[in-house]
Amino acid sequence: MANVTVIGAQWGDEGKGKIVDWLASRADAVVRFQGGHNAGHTLVIDGEVYKLSLLPSGIVSGTMSMIGNGVVLDPWALRDEVEKLEKQGVEITADNLAVADNCPLILPVHRDLDGLRETAAGKGKIGTTGRGIGPAYEDKVGRRAIRVCDLAHLDELESQLDRLCAHHDALRAGFDQPQVDRAALLAELKEIAPFVLRFAQPVWKRLKKVRKAGARVLFEGAQGVLLDVDHGTYPFVTSSNTVSGTAASGSGLGPGSTGFVLGIVKAYTTRVGSGPFPTELEDEIGQTLGEKGHEFGVVTGRKRRVGWFDAVIVRQSCSISGVTGIALTKIDVLDGFETVKICTGYRLNGNVVDYLPSHAGDQAKVEPIYEEMEGWSESTAGARSWADLPANAIKYIQRVQELIETPVALVSTSPEREDTILVRDPFLD
């Protein structure tokens, strides 16, 4: 049986939560391998809505869930999310949730810095969620992070606090802010430590045991390839690598274990925050797509920007991340349009290009080249087989896979778990 790695192949918000939940019911373990609680995954199971930001989507189905070392962990957000799910009847214990003991922590100073920077940047702001994700990753790379394992050794934290505060105090002074209150920070860490340490363990070791037993592992990514710090629309990106290769480094299981790479792709395109968006629609069609698709961020509530499907960026994402097959989501949002469009290339400085350039200025200047297709009036919502789909919807799906040079493995036709057309089983590939 193959393992499966799930990533977003656009700018995030592709519907990963529903697909991961669907796959998690057939997996033995689910692992989050990067990002923080800026990810927003919505699950709808038997009419009940679950909104996750940090916890792996498998937690709702009872699948063993792990937060890998590649994640930056806000311990207070973790507690809030666990308590919220418990109120919805989801049992969460050390038996079904493990947190890597080498995860870096997101601290109040990181949230402070994130907000101060975005406010000061004005029109040049990146459009972060303001949750401290980026500053936490900076401290990880700068070797001044406080990690989950440190919560068991808070009496030995002085030298780490010296490094952390020396950096943040200088930055805070530049924003005319007081120095870090070390005593208050330490008190907050002492208060939250017992909760987090309940789940802390070497996740890499737990995964090794799971794999030796022949179990199936589902690796869950956050955001999307176009937000990757290396391969995305830099600087309007997240602070981690979102590509499939990160599943290995962010979990500790190794590159030979990532298995089938499933790219989640929305049947149109959306983006939250600042940055280039070649197919963005700011007209009535864009408004209609946004309303039908309920395009508001799960975490922030921010309205998403909406546009036609961009085959150029998805083809690029699939190539960069080694996608084996895609899961096409929200096809039902396109129901009722007389015609639909797909971007097949760009014009840049009078030339036709078949990729999104790396330079931000070039990205902002590209003009989409569209192919128009006949739409469909019949409903695709709730379809569970090809026979349930209108002929023109099938033609659209077939054209998408041709243009992105990657086969369709799944088609999602509603937020409900079972409203899924299985074309190719990732676990059996």
Q: What are the catalytic residues?
A: 13, 41
Cβ contacts of 136 within 8 Å, gap of 6 or more: 36, 72, 104, 105, 106, 107, 110, 145, 239
DSSP E strands in 236-308: the ranges are 260-266, 269-271, 305-307
Please tell me the distance from the alpha carbon of residue 332 to that of residue 313, in angstroms, as a whole number: 22
Please tell me the distance from the alpha carbon of residue 16 to that of residue 122, in angstroms, as a whole number: 31
Please tell me the distance from the alpha carbon of residue 359 to that of residue 151, in angstroms, as a whole number: 42
Please tell me the distance from the alpha carbon of residue 156 to that of residue 177, in angstroms, as a whole number: 27
Please tell me the distance from the alpha carbon of residue 96 to that of residue 63, in angstroms, as a whole number: 7
Tokens of 30: 């689910």
Please tell me the distance from the alpha carbon of residue 398 to that of residue 331, in angstroms, as a whole number: 12
Distances (CA, A) of 323 to 260, 314, 326, 429: 8, 10, 7, 13
Please tell me the distance from the alpha carbon of residue 108 to that of residue 15, in angstroms, as a whole number: 30
Please tell me the distance from the alpha carbon of residue 281 to that of residue 271, in angstroms, as a whole number: 11
Contact by Cβ (8 Å): 343, 312: yes
- 165 sits in which H/E element: helix 158-174
- 192 sits in which H/E element: helix 182-197
